Amino acid sequence: MTKVQIPMTNMPSIPTIICPDQSALAEALCEKFLYLAQNAVPGPLTVALSGGSTPKRFYERLAQVPYLEKIPWTRVEFFFGDERAVPPEHADSNYRMAHEALLQKVPSKVHRMEAEPGRAGEYEQLVRARVPAGNKGLPRFDLILLGIGTDGHTASLFPGTAALEEKGKLVVMNEVPQLNTRRMTFTFPLINVAKKVWVLAPGKEKREVVQACLKNADAPYPIARIKPEPGELLWWLDRESAF
């Protein structure tokens, strides 16, 4: 695995993996996912996917040898952490991207978010039924993948939106007036009980937010509120976002 892991002085202890570029980052993610899948406890490996260009590279590489052959795909059960209110065939659909890059090529169970009719309650019920609960009584994903927007949003938890303050519901429809849209998203109560959360944030356009969050654990961005307890938080960066 080609990666560079460099200690960052005067920063909080957020575990980070720094890769030379996005291709190396995708490869490193695949190796880590392979290890996770091969060493998981019996039962489904529950994974919530994210959208965007960064995970697309990761998904495409997973769909290639050797990962296509080595990962026990029938044990993996995929969900989505957020979705735009568009049909699954729409160009903006997170599901469409993941389906074309990976899901159509593997025999895993997949649960698409039906955001167009706003069925957040139904998706929460599905998550509660399919994902084993932890000691807090909440569904505890084995892995949740997240990205970071240039405004510091993650999933569809955008700055200034109502979903940021949700304490009870695990999945909600969130109005995002700055984008004139409405999206379905996991909320903090669900994300922050996951066993593992991987934050994918390469690219120079992410550098300002990444640096602010690494320097200040309470930076004023939604992504800074991702603190799984007692789960594992791991940030995946490249040189452009890390320095």
Q: Distance between alpha carbon 143 and the CA centroid of its chain, in Å? A: 8
pLDDT given for residue 14 in this prediction:
85
Q: Does residue 78 contact residue 37 with C-beta atoms inside 8 Å?
A: no
What count of residues does the chain have?
Answer: 243
**Dihedral angle sign, alpha carbons of residues 53, 236, 112, 227:** negative
9 CB contacts (<8 Å, ≥6 apart)?
none
Q: Does residue 222 contact residue 187 with C-beta atoms inside 8 Å?
A: no
Read off the pLDDT of residues 115-164 as tens digits, 9 standing for 90 and up.
999 999 999 999 999 999 998 899 999 999 999 999 999 999 999 999 99
pLDDT given for residue 53 in this prediction:
83
- Give the whole-angstrom CA distance, residue 125 versus residue 186: 12
- Give the whole-angstrom CA distance, residue 148 versus residue 211: 12
139: left (phi over 0), alpha (psi -120 to 50) or beta: beta
DSSP 8-state code for residue 133? B
Q: Pull the structure tokens for residue 176.
A: 């995002």
Q: pTM score, two decimals?
A: 0.95
Query: What value does the CA radius of gyration of the chain take, rounded to a whole number of Å?
Result: 17
DSSP 8-state code for residue 60? H
Pairing label, strands 171-176, 181-186: antiparallel
Q: What are phi and psi of 81, to 5 degrees?
A: -80, -25
Read off the pLDDT of residues 154-186 as tens digits, 9 standing for 90 and up.
999 999 999 999 999 999 999 999 999 999 999
> Which positions of the chain have pLDDT values less than 50?
1-2, 4-12
Record: fold of 28-242: Rossmann fold (3.40.50)
Q: Is residue 20 classed as helix, strand or coil in its secondary structure?
A: coil
pLDDT given for residue 9 in this prediction:
40
Q: Which helix (H) or strand (E) holds 242?
A: helix 239-242
